[in-house]
A = this chain, B = another copy of it.
Amino acid sequence: MNEKEELTPLEQDWRTRSLNAPSPVQQFGPCGRIMKNSAMVMQIQDPASQRLTWYKPPLAVLVIKKVRDSTVLSPFVQLVEWLIQEKHMVVWVESAVLDDPLLIQDKKFQNIKDKCVTFKDGRDDLTDRIDFIICLGGDGTLLYASLLFQQSVPPVMAFHLGSLGFLTPFQFQNFQDQVTNVLEGHAALTLRSRLRCIIVRKNYKDHKNDSDRNDLAECDSSGVNSINNSNALPSTNILVLNEVVIDRGPSPYLSNIDLFLDGRHITSVQGDGLIVSSPSGSTAYALAAGASMVHPSVPAIMITPICPHSLSFRPIVVPAGVELKISISPDSRNTSWVSFDGRNRQELLHGDSLRVTTSIYPVPSICSQDQISDWFDSLAECLHWNVRKRQKCLDELSDLTGSGSEDTLDELDSVNQI
């Protein structure tokens, strides 16, 4: 299934441009060309060639484990023990993790418990303290890592414990070799873009002239987002890895949502809601709502309606970096609700607006193989996207609808055609 073809030199030469970069050619015919604007020029590395390297050896490693799942306990203890004793790293864990009664009873863990550095989620600032993150257990652990690091995110290595997830490419068997390999800098990276979201409250907006403006900058000083519902306080950014969802919440009325793109009114969405997702999120909730699957290296934002009341409202994919503004239509009977990666659910009132754009801080997700293989493996595993045997009945169908011209039928045919 995964047969890797040998690329002949011929074929290797054939690739003439990088993955997902804009056109390198700037001249069109003898006279036309793109206007130079030095402010808009930037240097980029071909995303397909992105590999992890370490500026200095990583020392502080944060281990995140799935909660409420006893099967994760033993791998967790093994991993932490190995990191401390073999790799001499400083292991950070969320303090609540150590309160787990099952973990407390684990004798092996008692010996290393005191060597772990703990922090309190939401109270302690991790900025610049963590060199490396290891996730154990499920896609939720990577979402949690994303939540913890609202600015620069250290490289993340994510192990699934059961079956492959969209965000967790590594299997735990022989984790030692794999972690060592990564620590030595042998790994491809997928930079998973995140969406930077902010709710601008009507009330706050009314007073913003006399308040400071830097709360809208990408980075706030705390390193922890603090979206709030009170009208008086400024909102701050929240970065999502999968999606921000606007829905009608508990209201029985349908949502009526205005969508603006770079300041332009694009459409009004009537239906159950709207999903704005990163490419990583295209295989999450957006998929259930009918979206196409977008590879995480495509620099794009996906806009997917939820049960739209117009047959012509297909999902759309727009370039990363555009700015979306979403607000309740003035004539809408009800408000909407917003949630960020399935969390922080809050009401969006008339006059409020949600702004979304691509963040400059992606999640650097370490690949098990490479950007392409990891993604298609997860599609196959999670969506049964490439599973031949599943198609047996439809193979049969193919015989039928295609022609079904089996021997005995051919004869009849020739009679019929006379």
Contacts and interface: CB of A to CB of B under 8 A. Distances in A.
B270 A272 contact: no
A125 to B, nearest CB: 12
A246 B270 CA distance: 20
B31 A40 contact: no
A320 interface: yes
Contacts of A96: 407-408, 411
A291 B289 contact: no
Contact of A18 (B19, B47, B152): B47
A96 B129 CA distance: 68
Interface stretch (A80-88, A107-115, A173-181, A223-231): A223-231
A76 interface: no
User: In the complex, which of the residues A18, A260, A315 has the most CB atoms of chain B within 10 Å of its own CB atom?
Assistant: A18
Contact of A46 (B10, B19, B122, B404): B19
A6 B260 CA distance: 12
A16 B359 contact: yes
Interface in A281-312: 282-285, 287-295, 297-300, 302, 306-312
Interface string A396-418: 11111111111111011111111
Given A44-B42, A47-B22, A48-B19, A398 B318 contact: no
A262 interface: yes
Interface in A351-388: 355, 357-362, 364, 372-373, 376-388
A402 to B, nearest CB: 4
Interface string A309-341: 111111111111111010000000000000101
A232 B275 CA distance: 41
A155 B251 CA distance: 34
B297 A319 contact: yes
A302 B28 CA distance: 25
Given A20-B299, A154-B30, A412-B121, A392 B1 contact: no
A372 B312 contact: no
Interface in A120-138: 120-123, 128-132, 138
A207 interface: no
A116 interface: no
Contacts of A102: none
Contact of A295 (B34, B46, B316): B316
15 contacts: A14-B355, A25-B360, A25-B362, A31-B57, A37-B49, A40-B46, A121-B412, A162-B392, A166-B397, A264-B373, A272-B306, A284-B400, A285-B397, A288-B307, A343-B405
Q: Which 10 pairs show the lowest CB-CB distances between chains A and B?
A: A29-B154, A382-B393, A122-B415, A20-B22, A250-B250, A18-B46, A19-B48, A20-B319, A309-B394, A21-B47
